[in-house]
Copies of this chain bind each other. A is one copy, B any other.
């Protein structure tokens, strides 16, 4: 809970009463490895904040291959935005890559907070914009670099993640095959 509050307060100020209200709506919950936080074909109904563990967003492309679109680390919000905001079916899965501990807000509670706390919507918008810009910044360089460079950049950007995720997820995130990634690792050692 401490982690969540200090994360939020980076983006704006809140008084004690507002903080208490947010805390009251927050539920701590665990996800076991491989469990889904939200699923394709369903409407996302919760917003989360990762206290511990790694999650990922993935989907199936038109060849039926599973593609990891990105990883979400500790101390970050996790929500299937398009689905949650517009109450439409999602086309992606949000899944725990390791055992995870999260704080979650149900959609009704989240909306109540938005309606009750003056300035909360501004904070939320800042959080969301920053997260989206980060996604763009992380995904874009992958397009124009070769596979080895992508892997090296990944290790730099996610030093804490690299040893906790299966090779297959990382390969699809980097847009290469599992065997290529394995060979790249071999060459680098």
Contact = CB atoms under 8 A, between A and B. Distances in A.
Given A128-B129, A129-B129, A139-B139, A175 B144 contact: yes
A188 interface: no
Interface string A156-189: 0000000000000000111100000000000000
Nearest to A68: B144
Q: Considering the complex of A and B, which 10 residue pairs feature the smallest CB-CB distances, nearest first?
A: A132-B132, A143-B175, A125-B125, A144-B175, A142-B143, A135-B136, A139-B139, A67-B144, A139-B140, A69-B140
User: Contact residue range for chain A?
Assistant: 20 to 34
A140 B81 CA distance: 16
Interface string A69-80: 100000000000
